[in-house]
Structure 1
């Protein structure tokens, strides 16, 4: 039996471990923390499985590989809500909606009546909108815990200290891997969680803005995740300006958010390579899976599949780089 060790238990590491177990490997996962939690970048994700919307700014592989995500997460027993994405803009930013529509062709245009049918609580707020039906979302924290528990039941060993030998090592440590991946950089993202029983949304809503775009993702128990800023920095301090901008944008989406409970404010730095595309980098029997940028839950399933195939089937998958240095 092939023995594999996975370094890092964020979304990338847990997805890689899942793919290795499915191929019959004996797997050990090494991470300083025993369980998923706020110490990890993945904990602060939005959980949008929105490859089409990401195609507004992302490269083609993000769109194509991201289409695998929703089915993959469902196969792991994670709840995935497939209600699409709603895209709106304030009156002064209507040109942003037109620009978005040109870059994301798989959408439906909604008039006020169509918007009211889709999201009744936004009725009368916008005179037009876009609906991207082929998208989904999940609760990232529930997804991480689900994968962790599933791997536990599959006999995977979890260790807080590295050690032991393996046929292959999969390095999925995110920014911590800068000790060997010197071209990784941090991209700071901030988010807020609100609670309100006065508004109901069935799907993620993107509010377009030329400077401060916002997405609102509904979660169970009246929670809404607001996110997220994108700042070229690995500074993990929470800034007043960014939080104010998030909350102001949410208020612009619907004033009821002004009365919502502020439950949580979070920040972390996402790992990215210079081109913002993830990479699978092979150095002998060590395979690095990194640089998922803002697409962790969207791209980790495809990257994990390709990394496992590279090790066990000796393939040369897309986004893979050989390094003999």
Structure 2
């Protein structure tokens, strides 16, 4: 089959990055087609959904800090507009987060991190373990320290993704710009010119369908390399960062275990428990770069063990899912949002690693602005300069980035932080 349609923008990838961009473009009046064989089933499917701009702060992480705080502030209006349109909850919870240390060494880590957070103007309240257990009685009586982070919240990606699709479909049906979701795989971009090296004019799908569009937005995560016809994308260096994550559920008749997200440290190992309103608790997550797509038993065991150190009652939960997904990592841990040299008609938005849900509103806003040609604000211009896909084209730039403490790169020790 070889047909042609003509949306204003075709988006490859129906995770949160692609769908938030689609929503922004749709609101701006654009006809949008999104292409993905399994919408929302990539990294977005596994994500716990912590909107944790404060708790995710790391040492020597200045640039990423700006992205995280900016994006976190964009969640409330996004949630409000989706809720108003759809008339139902989209998975957002504004309950605060507790940072809990299991042992004295873990407490020292959180104490030092709190100094960094406060120096950045963030609000982190040290509370006693008695106060923490008053807030969450299921916490172990042996915990050694606690911090309350009132500004860190959560959203359920498994509700957010279908809600974004529903919002796009609802708005289109009510007379808004056309929206089409195609459950197909994009195999290559189309190029203008006799030698097919000119502007990108759309995509070809795995069934032969051709979609022409004014702009093509690539948000495919780690599968970017499988999209042909774009040798210029060799500079977009991605690596799969796998994470094992568990989902559990309260057994019938049992009272809620937690109300707040618990982000913990157990002997230097991070673990978190994210409670949903329906009784589900997400337990995660490991971080490994071994290129293995399956679940690793050691990682699952570690999470189960450490979750029970902090919350002994977790042992009574029903284990419902063990999952692993590859998150798209970059050499300097910053995402790629921007254009490629000499390639008109194309925008790239990928490389969000483990911050994909947190950065979704900002990434969607910036990618849509590039597609629309909107003049960026001073802050947006600074972020776009830091996330320009061309920044890693030169190996010397990557080397410099890995040593530059201002660009968000984390040392191996810092990678163990929650």
Shared fold, TM over 0.5: yes
**Paired residues for 1:159-174 under 5 Å:** 159-161=182-184, 162=205, 163-174=210-221
Unaligned segments of structure 2, at least 5 residues: 1-5, 84-89, 173-178, 185-204, 227-232, 394-418
Pair 1:189 & 2:243 matched: yes
The Cα shift of 1:259 comes to 2.4
Compute the TM-score of the two structures, normalised by the length of structure 1.
0.91
Q: Out of 144, 149, 153, which is 2:170 matched to?
A: 153
Task: Provide the rounded CA distance (Å) in 2 between the counterparts of 1:292 and 1:46.
Answer: 14
- C-alpha change, 1:261 and 1:148, in structure 2 (3 Å) is same
Match of 1:54 in 2: 56
Q: Please say if residues 339 and 388 of structure 2, whose CA atoms lie closer than 8 Å, have aligned partners that are also in contact.
A: yes
Q: Out of 309, 320, 335, which is 1:263 matched to?
A: 320
The Cα shift of 1:60 comes to 2.4
The Cα shift of 1:229 comes to 0.7
Partner-residue secondary structure (3-state), 1:213 = strand
Partner-residue secondary structure (3-state), 2:55 = helix
The Cα shift of 1:67 comes to 2.5
The Cα shift of 1:127 comes to 4.9
Q: Please say if residues 75 and 361 of structure 2, whose CA atoms lie closer than 8 Å, have aligned partners that are also in contact.
A: no
The Cα shift of 1:199 comes to 4.8
- C-alpha change, 1:90 and 1:123, in structure 2 (3 Å) is closer
Task: Provide the rounded CA distance (Å) in 2 between the counterparts of 1:150 and 1:233.
Answer: 37
Match of 1:275 in 2: 332
Q: Out of 138, 141, 147, which is 1:124 matched to?
A: 141
The Cα shift of 1:209 comes to 3.4
Partner-residue secondary structure (3-state), 1:201 = coil
Q: Out of 83, 107, 122, which is 1:94 matched to?
A: 107
Compute the TM-score of the two structures, normalised by the length of structure 2.
0.72
Unaligned segments of structure 1, at least 5 residues: none
Aligned residues: 321
The CA deviation string for residues 186-227 of structure 1, in whole angstroms up to 9 with x for no partner, is 101110011223552112101113542101100133211011
**Paired residues for 1:232-251 under 5 Å:** 232-251=289-308
Q: Out of 193, 209, 212, which is 2:266 matched to?
A: 209
**Paired residues for 1:20-59 under 5 Å:** 20-33=25-38, 35-36=39-40, 39-57=41-59, 58=61, 59=64
Match of 1:227 in 2: 284
Partner-residue secondary structure (3-state), 1:53 = coil
Task: Provide the rounded CA distance (Å) in 2 between the counterparts of 1:198 and 1:271.
Answer: 37
The Cα shift of 1:245 comes to 0.2
Pair 1:80 & 2:140 matched: no
Task: Provide the rounded CA distance (Å) in 2 between the counterparts of 1:203 and 1:85.
Answer: 6
Q: Out of 339, 345, 354, which is 1:285 matched to?
A: 345
The CA deviation string for residues 216-254 of structure 1, in whole angstroms up to 9 with x for no partner, is 100133211011111123321111100000000011012
The Cα shift of 1:56 comes to 2.6
Range with greater deviation from structure 2 (251-260 or 67-76): 67-76
Partner-residue secondary structure (3-state), 1:298 = coil
Range with greater deviation from structure 2 (124-133 or 139-148): 124-133
The Cα shift of 1:19 comes to 0.6
Task: Provide the rounded CA distance (Å) in 1 between the counterparts of 2:290 and 2:103.
Answer: 32
Task: Provide the rounded CA distance (Å) in 1 between the counterparts of 2:68 and 2:293.
Answer: 29
Q: CA RMSD in A?
A: 2.2
- C-alpha change, 1:259 and 1:101, in structure 2 (3 Å) is same
Task: Provide the rounded CA distance (Å) in 1 between the counterparts of 2:318 and 2:152.
Answer: 28
The Cα shift of 1:4 comes to 0.8
The Cα shift of 1:119 comes to 1.8
- C-alpha change, 1:305 and 1:168, in structure 2 (3 Å) is same
The Cα shift of 1:125 comes to 4.4
Kindly name which structure, 1 or 2, has the bigger radius of gyration based on alpha carbons.
2
Task: Provide the rounded CA distance (Å) in 2 between the counterparts of 1:187 and 1:127.
Answer: 31
Q: Please say if residues 96 and 209 of structure 1, whose CA atoms lie closer than 8 Å, have aligned partners that are also in contact.
A: no
